[in-house]
Each structure stands twice: as structure tokens, then as C-alpha cells.
Structure 1
Amino acid sequence: MTKRDKELSLEQREELLRTLKARFEKNLNRHKDLEWANVQAKLEANTEKMWSLNEMEGTGGEPDVVGYDKKTGEYLFYDCSAESPKGRRSVCYDREALESRKKHKPENSAIDMAAAMGIELLTEEQYRELQKLENFDLKTSSWVQTPANVRKLGGALFCDCRYDTVFMYHNGAESYYAARGFRGSLRV
């Protein structure tokens, strides 16, 4: 995909900004002490990042600002949909896992989808931070970045929230389920 393919039309950018602003204003608990005008200015200066946010939105992620990195001057967006984004479920962990399946292959992998969207899977730490804002994945689960030593042995990690507790589990990286997808992060 070329850089030109990752550009939104003026109408698409305006629609995305309206959606993000409404979500920002509705969920002030996720980004205390941050102002929308500053976020919008950063977004308007980073059209490729807007394309990635649009991809997050289009797959059901409902991205929202969850923080600000004072060192880099970047706003941090996470998928904040109540459940794992619907347009990103039924995927195995990565390309290697996808290619290892002999039968009933899923259409894609979480790592490949995230890369194509220009985002990263949440880490376990980021997932736990997100859960401090409100409860997510009460009925679904989300793949998270997996350490190389676990992946080398064929496994991958995922998280969910049950019984007011965040759980991290493992599964074969080639597994996929209708209720498991992935949440992404993007720095703007």
C-alpha cells in the first residue's frame, strides 16, 4: 500500500474528527486534563495517523485518547469498544501461526491486520492500564503482544476481564475464536 492509499478525503477526515470529538467529550474520564483542541491540531498535522484511526474505527475499535506522553508530545489512542473489535475477531496471532494451519485457516492474523492498519497490538501492561479506565472485554478476549520466548514455543497471549479481574492466558498462536480479536494502540 502506498502513502497515497493511506490518505482520507476531506469529507472522511471531517467525519472522523466529528466522531472522535464526540467520543472524547462523552468519555472525559479516559483523558483527564487533556483538551480536544490540542488533540485535533495534532491529528490534522498527521494525516497518515488519521488514516490508521479511521481503520480502527471502521473495524469497530472505537478509538479514543487514553493518555499523553510528555516526553514525546504524543497522544495515545487505544481501541475502547466495550468488546474486542468485531471486525478483528476470528484471527490467529501471527503469519507463522496462520501458515502452520493445515485446515480451517482464519482469513488473517492479528499481527498482520495491525501492521496493515498502521497500529500495534496492546501489550499486557497497556491492556491492564486500559482496564483501569473502565471494564472492557467482559464477553470477549483480545490477543496482546507476546514475548518472543513464548512465541518461539508456539504460544501466544490474550487477556480479558471476568469477575472484576483482568486475566492473562495463553493459547496456541494458531488458534482462533469468534469471541477473540485484538485491541490496538496508536501514537499521534
Structure 2
Amino acid sequence: MSKINTKELSANQVQELLHTLKTRFEKNMNRHKSLEWIKVEERLVSRPEKLRILDEMEITGGEPDVVDYDEATGEYIFYDCSAESPKGRRSVCYDREGLESRKEHQPENNAIDMAAAMGIELLTEAQYRYLQQLGKFDTKTSSWIVTPTAIRKLGGALFGDRRYDHVFIYHNGAQSYYAARAFRGSLRV
């Protein structure tokens, strides 16, 4: 099972990450039209534990970016915005139960445990559909999403992708895994 980095970021790593996030923020203003980078940066700098999580999202290929702002809590909401499912999180089944149910060829990890270890939440179906309004994501890959308990109890799990210029939500057994399927996460800062 892969380990998630829990070390604090050095001052140089923080500056590099902030530069990467700022560049992405400015390049993709359609994702956050009414937001200002300076306010996002102030919030990030005051929450170093969130920077470590964003760094892990970046390291695993998620390309996190701000997609919303919660006025009630003052939190900025980041989603993984990589064009395809994050490369460093692929070939994982949905959850621990699905992983343990595989008698042969078990993957290294599962989406639920990996997201929890990273400190992020899997996108819900509504969040996934919202992300797809901001661009075209998962046109060659797919991403696990939060699965309702009733479906999971029956052995299934949900994932989404974009094909034929349409967003699809599908199902698979929770124990399945594919080289082109990962998961996307969200983080509130």
C-alpha cells in the first residue's frame, strides 16, 4: 500500500506549490470568475496543513484548482482538475471491502482509503457533474465517485466519465479496477 507524505513542506516547497496553484488559477479563470488569487493565497498560507494536502493532490497528478467559494464558511473549494483521472491514483478499486473481496490480482490500494489518507473527499455525483460544466474531463479515463450506501451494499460502486460530449455515470463491482480509472477529490480550505 502506498504511503501518503505527512511531512511539513519546506519554505521552498510552499513557494513552488503556491506558484503552481497561482499559475493554474490564472490560466483557468472560467472555473472561478468572481474570485481573487490574493485572497485564496492568504487563506492557504494561514493553513499549512491544507497546503500539504494540496501538494499531495498535485504529486499524484490531480492538478487541484479552486472551483467554488462557500460564503457561509469562508472556505475555498478545490477539486482535482487534471484533464484525465489523476495518474498517481489509478488502478485502485473502490473501497477496502472491494479490495479484500478479490482473491487474486489485488490492486495496491483503494479509492476510499487513499482519499482519506490524503485528507480529501471523493467527489459526489453532483460535484462530478459540476466539474464537467467547467471543462471536459475524463474523455479517455474514468473516476470513482461517492457511491450511495444502498448500491454499495449490493456490491456496486459508481464512476463517471465524459464520452460523446456527454457526462455518464456508470456502475461496476466495487472490487474492479482499471489502468484508466482513478478518483478525483475535493478539499475545503
State the TM bucket, normalised to the shorter chain. Answer: over 0.9
Check the 8 A contact 2:123/2:146 in 1, yes or no.
yes
- CA distance in structure 1 between the partners assigned to 2:62 and 2:6 by the alignment: 21
* Correspondence list, 1:1-188, <5 A: 5-188=6-189
CA shift at 1:37, angstroms? 0.3
AA paired with 2:20?
Answer: T
SS in 1 for 2:159: strand
**How many residues are matched?**
185
2:121 & 2:152 partners in 1: Cα distance?
17
After TM superposition, where is structure 1 displaced by more than 6 Å over at least 4 residues in a row? none
What's the TM-score, normalizing by structure 1? Answer: 0.97
Write the distance in 2 (CA, Å) between the matches of 1:39 and 1:122. Answer: 21
Does 62-71 or 5-14 show the bigger shift? 5-14
Match of 1:91, SS state, is coil
**Distance in 2 between the 1:149 and 1:47 partners?**
37
RMSD (CA atoms): 1.0
Letter in 2 for 1:70: E
Q: Among the aligned pairs, what percent are the same residue?
A: 74
Question: Does the Cα contact within 8 Å between 1:6 and 1:48 map onto a contact in 2?
Answer: no
CA distance in 2, matches of 1:103, 1:5: 31
Q: Give me the whole-angstrom Cα distance separating, in 2, the residues matched to 1:100 and 1:6.
A: 33
Contact persistence 2:121–2:186 (CA under 8 A): yes
- Uncovered stretches (5+) of structure 2, i.e. residues with no partner: none
Q: Per-residue deviation at 1:5?
A: 3.3
